[in-house]
Structure 1
């Protein structure tokens, strides 16, 4: 039905318009920085640059999923250029991590997005923590959004670390040079225009906005949805739908979340062009209703409340803070 509706066809006009617009926005930010000179008003273009960088990140995501071009080579190399030269991130790192997430969303020991780290996303990760770590974990939900301000920096660090440790990828040095040019050129321009303190404030705000926008777009889609045990087998439809959450909203939500507010449709059809996801929604909803598969959609702020509640519940070592509906249905 999706193919018959033409929803998997490429949307070249949409993507070329978006690419040109984002590159032009980056150029305008550069002009603004040059014209403003040594002033704290530079924090305004810094925040705008964070927004523009997030849009480059969303474009890199779409390219990595082969949503933009028919040619695999065009998608891959465009993703390398957009991610590396314009965002300072590694396509290789992102592709490896993100593919694992798509193959097993919210499944323990398989989905890297719920792997152990500063935050515990599952009761199994929270249980071994003791002392101060345990006390902090009990209230970790309130720390989630402040921590997102560091996510932009973490993405750069993870990209470089992965590429330096990756010995088999033939293009890792190309990506490292892209990232070096992006980050090195960025620092050089800031230091040429601003003193060290203001340059640091500019970069800090830009990275904070980038982290909040990217993390704020990805987090509501799966956090607080059912966690799948490591050894549980789930069919494709339920694996992608039951573990995902859509976010209600219009054109502004689509723009700020890079289309990832249509997460269920994206997980079912990862190569579907971004603007077609909302067109596929009625078909997916009808199919899920026909097969008695839970299709979850909520507002953005409500989704953030769920994320905070879930993380705090994990920190309190709730055995199963969000019982998987598949287990509830079949265990009896």
Structure 2
């Protein structure tokens, strides 16, 4: 229903709950999109199972951060059930304000959504949402062994360039695998008790990797709720460093003195966009440094005050301490094992660049180069269908080496399955993938699988399309 539709709120004659038209819900959409504008005393309605909830007063305290804003003015039934445990429904009840009118209720007919809900229940009964603790113990220990190899090489050969470069590669691989493991734990895929998932997520994410779990959750949760939605998904809001759609170009090339919405001058921004296919791989090398800086800013108390009106993940002192511990052990390692200053600087920049490249290569394959939706398009699209059409699965060109892709990508090569079932442990994805692909084909929903190399080519092709558009606008 278009946002400009208006209608009057229908009140029950009794003292019971209010009854709402769909149009009343849509009117709150604009207020939710403003995100930090609490000065406007208007409700922020979300519909779940045809019940209406006003989340305005809860938004700043939402444990999941700003993701709650992505479904203001919309039906959030499947999004809510996908991201929350059963206990969350008790909290949700505190913000209940009424029901959708009977003639306006959403009654899902037999189709993709209902079949997917049914198949999800079948997967639960088959135990596919239960993790193998032995599997994750093995994954954590083998990853720590990569760190041990790194330190051993530095201990013996830290005074040589070859030793420093080799250990930098292993350090980058260690950080990459820490990213995938912390991702699993922070999605609560491993333990039934969320506190233990958070403990492991903080250990692997903050102490080992140097990324703030709260910063990551705040960004990643919103990405899951609105993948590839222009103006909502933070993972494609990288303009002008990398620009993924023509939507972001209008302000930049409107006129010679057009104000750019970035910290860069218009000239620098335009240069980056024009040549982004050539700059893609060099830029990825700086991704880890950028993410570390963003993590530190997110947990700093002063930064929190600047963002005091922004719904965001809560940050505890433990997280700040974890990031400090990460940088302490990293720089102490340099001090103890790399005696020469120029070699220490080489290790620092090479390990950071390798870590950024290994993480970002996989990260970009997940969704970049796939369909980008406007907010209007996403409002009209089924939640589960949106997860499918914006994602890309990655397979090995030779099935014998699928295990290499699974290891290198950390299970994120099953990106479509992960977005449909974010709490499913990665070691079950290969079991459910054929069923999901068949279901999508049944309902003519585009389901994309490709190899690592071809997927990277698709990413570069999309960057080239936007670059060509920027040349024409210039």
For residues 118-159 of structure 1, give each alpha carbon's deviation from its aligned partner in whole angstroms, at most 9, with x where no partner exists: 222221212332455334412312211110000111111110
Which ranges of structure 2 fall in alignment gaps of 5 or more residues? 1-121, 254-266, 397-401
Give how far 1:71 is off: 0.9
Of 235, 243, 248 in structure 1, the residue corresponding to residue 395 of structure 2 is: 248
Give how far 1:183 is off: 0.9
Distance 1:170 1:284, change over 3 A: closer
Of 137, 141, 154 in structure 2, the residue corresponding to residue 20 of structure 1 is: 141
Of 279, 297, 302 in structure 1, the residue corresponding to residue 454 of structure 2 is: 302
- TM normalised by structure 2 equals 0.65
Aligned to 1:78: 200
Instruction: Tell me the distance in 1 between the aligned counterparts of 2:167 and 2:469.
Output: 43
Aligned to 1:185: 329
For residues 210-236 of structure 1, give each alpha carbon's deviation from its aligned partner in whole angstroms, at most 9, with x where no partner exists: 111111111112111111112221212
Instruction: Tell me the distance in 1 between the aligned counterparts of 2:138 and 2:268.
Output: 50
Do the aligned partners of 1:116 and 1:125 also contact (CA within 8 Å) in 2?
A: no
For residues 96-134 of structure 1, give each alpha carbon's deviation from its aligned partner in whole angstroms, at most 9, with x where no partner exists: 100000000000111001114322222121233245533
Which deviates further from its counterpart, 163-172 or 221-230? 163-172
Matched, 1:68 2:206: no
Matched, 1:126 2:228: no
Query: SS of 1:3's equivalent?
Result: helix
Matched, 1:5 2:126: yes
Matched, 1:201 2:346: yes
Of 154, 157, 160 in structure 2, the residue corresponding to residue 33 of structure 1 is: 154
Instruction: Tell me the distance in 1 between the aligned counterparts of 2:268 and 2:148.
Output: 47
Matched, 1:235 2:379: no
For residues 185-204 of structure 1, give each alpha carbon's deviation from its aligned partner in whole angstroms, at most 9, with x where no partner exists: 21122023222211111111
Distance 1:30 1:296, change over 3 A: same
Query: SS of 1:266's equivalent?
Result: helix
Aligned to 1:321: none
Aligned to 1:322: none
Distance 1:159 1:66, change over 3 A: same
Instruction: Tell me the distance in 2 between the aligned counterparts of 1:203 and 1:133.
Output: 28
Matched, 1:153 2:289: yes
Query: SS of 1:145's equivalent?
Result: helix
For residues 220-253 of structure 1, give each alpha carbon's deviation from its aligned partner in whole angstroms, at most 9, with x where no partner exists: 1211111111222121221100111111120000
Of 407, 414, 417 in structure 2, the residue corresponding to residue 265 of structure 1 is: 417
Instruction: Tell me the distance in 2 between the aligned counterparts of 1:313 and 1:260.
Output: 26
- TM normalised by structure 1 equals 0.91
Query: SS of 1:316's equivalent?
Result: helix
Higher relative CO (Cα under 8 Å, sequence separation at least 6) belongs to: 1
Matched, 1:224 2:369: yes
Instruction: Tell me the distance in 2 between the aligned counterparts of 1:46 and 1:60.
Output: 21
Do the aligned partners of 1:10 and 1:70 also contact (CA within 8 Å) in 2?
A: no
For residues 278-301 of structure 1, give each alpha carbon's deviation from its aligned partner in whole angstroms, at most 9, with x where no partner exists: 111011012112222111111111
Please, what is the CA RMSD of the aligned residues?
1.7
Aligned to 2:111: none
Instruction: Tell me the distance in 2 between the aligned counterparts of 1:80 and 1:106.
Output: 27
Instruction: Tell me the distance in 2 between the aligned counterparts of 1:75 and 1:107.
Output: 29
Query: SS of 1:247's equivalent?
Result: strand
Which ranges of structure 1 fall in alignment gaps of 5 or more residues? 319-332
Distance 1:189 1:97, change over 3 A: same
Give how far 1:63 is off: 0.7
Distance 1:37 1:242, change over 3 A: closer
Give how far 1:27 is off: 2.1
For residues 54-78 of structure 1, give each alpha carbon's deviation from its aligned partner in whole angstroms, at most 9, with x where no partner exists: 1111111111111111111111121
Do the aligned partners of 1:137 and 1:312 also contact (CA within 8 Å) in 2?
A: no
Which structure shows the higher helix fraction?
1
